[in-house]
Amino acid sequence: MPITSRRQCLVTAGAVATLGFAGCTSDGSDDSLRVGVPQHLVGGDWVTAFYEAGELYAEQEGIEYDVVSHDQDSAEQVTDIRQFVAQGYDAIIAAPFDEAVDNAIDEAAAEDIPVFTVNDPGTTDSIKTFTAFGNAEAGETCAELMVEALEEQRPDRESYSVLHVRGDFNQQSNARTDGFDEYIDGQDRVEVVDTIRTDWSVDDSQSTTEDYLSANDPPDGIYATNMTCGIGVQNALEQLNLAYPSGHDDHIVHTQPDAGPDVNPLIKDGYIDATVDQPVHFYIPLAMKQLLDYLDGGDEALPQPGDTVDENDYSFTPIEHEGAELWSDPIWAPAEVTERNGHTHVLTAGVVVTEENVDRPGLWGNIWG
């Protein structure tokens, strides 16, 4: 059912960009569509790309874009969502920290405030859509890339040992671990000799990996579950004089989800063999496009499970940012649309990044690096 909203009012008037939303407010006091963005992530280039791309797209669309963030505190995120509801925001785009946030999302939906999630899914069917690449799929692809690189690095070996350096237990880390492990479990020649747990930080990943490698033989390969774990691994290898580029007899194969400004040089120099990167700078803009479609046409205007959406369905007008043409390379597409926990998952593409394509201008790490 179509939604009566200030956005719809302006679309009907055919003057979204020029009227400034005046006269189409729901309560007569605001003059633009207001979107609240309660996030749990702070710091780092990845988060900058995540937030800033959303802010730039909101500016392009004339949307008021209000971000509140906290440091891995689900109770605070619940409070933030309830404040957006109390203040009459038109929509919420969130990365739920954990299942404790579901009740607040349900409360927003009960007040007819649509909630879209990005990066982190949430588990309630009150969510309109969830947009992100697949963490389990990224882990599985990293496993495939690991096997290929091991066979290329040491073609005469009958079996290979792999160390798994994972992040702390949460939705992302668990999915990336499961995707990797399930694929490797089906490989007769590859064994995960150990899995060591870190707190996601570079320092802890480095010290934990150093401790392991100081007490054990170096493995043939290392899988790290995210960007900071991977950087910590490389720091540890360098500290222990075990860092050699691909092709060197003593090279330890390394794959992981996430490229980025600090990872791309390591790929280019051959220390990291391959990554599966996220189109992070499209996550919030894609959610906003779905939000605008929803406000204009209701649930039927949203992508449905079984659909495939691409750049023809969600096109972007590129803008210059950090010396790059932001959104000119639709690396998020195609996206398969599936169902997850009772709501729709717009499963964006993940980009395999190797030495051959690490300079691709559309990678977020080459824009915000």
- How far does CA 339 lie from the centroid of its chain? 18
At a CB cut-off of 8 Å and minimum separation 6, what does 306 contact? Answer: 337
CA dihedral of 328, 334, 340, 344, whole degrees rounded to 10 = 70
Q: What is the pLDDT of residues 230-284, one digit of tens each?
A: 999 999 999 999 999 999 999 999 999 999 999 999 999 999 999 999 999 999 9
Residue 331 tokens read as 């690396």
* DSSP string over 42-64: -SSHHHHHHHHHHHHHHHHHT-E
DSSP 235: H
Question: Among residues 93, 7, 98, which one has the least CA distance to residue 55?
Answer: 93
Spell out, as residue ranges, where the chain has pLDDT lower than 50.
1-29
Burial 42-72 (b: 16+ CB within 10 A, else e): eeebbbebbbbbbebbbeebbbbbebebbee
CA dihedral of 41, 46, 47, 52, whole degrees rounded to 10 = -160
Q: Give the CA angle between residues 280, 282, 288 to the nearest 5°.
A: 125
User: What sign has the CA pseudo-torsion 188, 189, 193, 199?
Assistant: negative
pLDDT at 358: 98
Where would I find the H helices in 240-341?
264-268, 280-297
Q: What is the pLDDT of residues 138-178, one digit of tens each?
A: 999 999 999 999 999 999 999 999 999 998 877 778 899 99
pLDDT at 6: 47
At a CB cut-off of 8 Å and minimum separation 6, what does 245 contact? Answer: 251, 269, 270, 271
pLDDT at 43: 62
Where would I find the H helices in 87-226?
102-110, 135-153, 171-185, 202-215
> Strands 343-347, 324-326: parallel, antiparallel or unpaired by DSSP?
unpaired
pLDDT at 12: 42
- Largest Cα–Cα distance of the chain, in whole Å? 74
Question: Among residues 104, 35, 97, which one has the least CA distance to residue 71?
Answer: 97
pLDDT at 97: 84
